[in-house]
Structure 1
C-alpha cells in the first residue's frame, strides 16, 4: 500500500497548469482534503546549471525531496505537482526517489495552438515570447507521444479553470465526483 499519493499535472506552456494547480488546491482545501501543492518549474530555477547536471534533473529531485520531506513531516500524504514534463514516463524515477514510491495519477492538460498562442501572448511581457511559442509547440507533440501509460488527457480550450480543476480532482479519487466526458481515456505511450 502506498502511503503517498501524487497528482502530476503536465502540459505545454500556456495550457494552464499553474492556474489549474492553484484551483485544484483550492478545491481540496474547501473539501478539507490534506495536500501540498508544488510548482515544479521553480525547483530548478538556477543559473548556471549545476556541474554534472546540465538538464537540472538532480537539483529538481533534491529540491522536491527536501520540500516533500517537510510536508511529510507535517503529516501530509498527498501532493499536487505541476510541471510541463511531469507526465513523461522518463520522469518517474524522480518521483519514486523523492517521494519514496508514491501512487501516481498523471493528467496531461491539452489545448490547441491558437489557444496557447493567445494565452502566452497575454502572459509573456518580456523577450521570450517567440521562444515560449516554439518550445510549447514542440512539447505538445513530445508530451502526446511520450506521456506515461495511463495518463489522462483533459482539454482546456474554452473552459473555465474551475471546471478543468474539478475534472483533474475527479481523476485522483480523493473526492467523490463523477468523471465527465471531457476526460479522455488513457492512450498508449511510446
Structure 2
C-alpha cells in the first residue's frame, strides 16, 4: 500500500466526507493514519497571480504537516483536495516524499449542484460560481484524468464509497 492517498474531484463530490470515512477505516485496520484537507492548507487570500488555486502553498503546508505527523508516528496519509494536472501531482509527491495514489471521486453534475446547494456554505453569486466550477472541473478531471482509479459517489453513502476506496488503495 502506498503511504499517501489523495481524494480528488470537483466541489460537492464528497472528498472531505469520504476522507474522514477512509481515515476511520484506516484506524480500524491499525494503519496509523493522518488526514489533511488541501482547501484548509491553502486558505489564504489573495492567491498569487501565477498560482490561482494555491497549489504551491498547499503543497508546502502539506510537507510540514506530513513531517509532523510522521514524527508523531503516523504512517498513512489521507488527503482531500483537487489535483488538476501532473504538475500539481508532482508538487504533492514532493511534499510527501514519494508517490501518491490519486482516487478521483466522481458524480453527475446535477448531484454535485444539489450537494453544493444543500451544504449551506456558499450563497448568491458565490454559490452559482461554485456550481459552474464543479461542472467544468468534473469535465476537465475526466478528460485529463491523472488519477490511479475512479470511484463514483453517485447515490451512495460515504461509508460505501470509503469501503471501496480503501479496498482499492490497499489492494
The TM-score with structure 2 as length reference comes to 0.89
The structure 2 residue matched to 1:135, chosen from 127, 130, 133, is 133
Task: Decide which structure has the larger Cα Rg and report it.
Answer: 1
> Closer, same or farther in 2 for the Cα pair 1:30/1:131, shift >3 Å?
same
* Conservation of the 8 A alpha-carbon contact between 2:23 and 2:35: yes
The SS at the match of 1:72 is helix
The answer for the alignment partner of 2:159 in structure 1 is 162
Asked if 1:108 corresponds to 2:104, the answer is yes
Long gaps (5+) in structure 2:
none
User: In angstroms, what is the RMSD of aligned CA positions?
Assistant: 2.0
The SS at the match of 2:32 is coil
- Runs in 1 of length 4+ with deviation above 3 angstroms? 50-55
- From the two aligned structures, give the one with the greater helix fraction: 2
* Conservation of the 8 A alpha-carbon contact between 1:89 and 1:146: no
Question: In structure 1, how many angstroms separate the alpha carbons of the residues matched to 2:23 and 2:131?
Answer: 28
> Closer, same or farther in 2 for the Cα pair 1:49/1:170, shift >3 Å?
same
Superposed displacement of residue 53, structure 1:
4.7
The TM-score with structure 1 as length reference comes to 0.81
> Closer, same or farther in 2 for the Cα pair 1:9/1:55, shift >3 Å?
closer
Please show how residues 31-42 of structure 1 align to structure 2 within 5 Å.
31-42=29-40
Question: In structure 1, how many angstroms separate the alpha carbons of the residues matched to 2:150 and 2:56?
Answer: 28
Aligned length: 169
Question: In structure 2, how many angstroms separate the alpha carbons of the residues matched to 1:118 and 1:84?
Answer: 19
> Closer, same or farther in 2 for the Cα pair 1:51/1:135, shift >3 Å?
closer
The answer for the alignment partner of 1:45 in structure 2 is 43
Question: In structure 1, how many angstroms separate the alpha carbons of the residues matched to 2:148 and 2:101?
Answer: 7
